[in-house]
Amino acid sequence: MGEIRKVYRTQFRPLGNPTTWYVYQGPRLVPYPHLKRVAKCRPKKTRFLNEMDVCDLRGPTRCRLCGGEGHSRSKCLHHGGASASGSAPNE
C-alpha cells in the first residue's frame, strides 16, 4: 500500500488552457476505415473454422411440433403455423 501512496505523493501540474498548448508536429495517424469497429452491432467473427469445428455447425432447421425439417414451429402447416387459416390451431 505504501508504493501506491508514493505514486500519488508527487504533484500533478494542470494542463491549462487548450489555446496555449503546442501544436503537434508528428505524423498524422489515420485509421483504416474497414478495421474500425461499429458500436451498434456485435463484432464480426474472425476465427477460421477447421475440422474440429465441423460438429459445432448447426444442421437443418427442425420443427418442434411435427418433427419435419426445413421449417420452425411458427411456420408449421400441420399444427396451425403462420399460413394456416383461423385463429385456433388445427387438431
pLDDT, mean of residues 76-86: 62
Q: What pLDDT does 2 receive? A: 87
Task: Find how far residue 82's CA is from the centre of its chain.
Answer: 30
Q: pLDDT, tens digit, for every residue of 22-71?
A: 888 999 988 888 887 667 777 778 888 777 776 656 678 888 889 888 88
Q: How many CB atoms lie within 10 A of CB 76?
A: 21
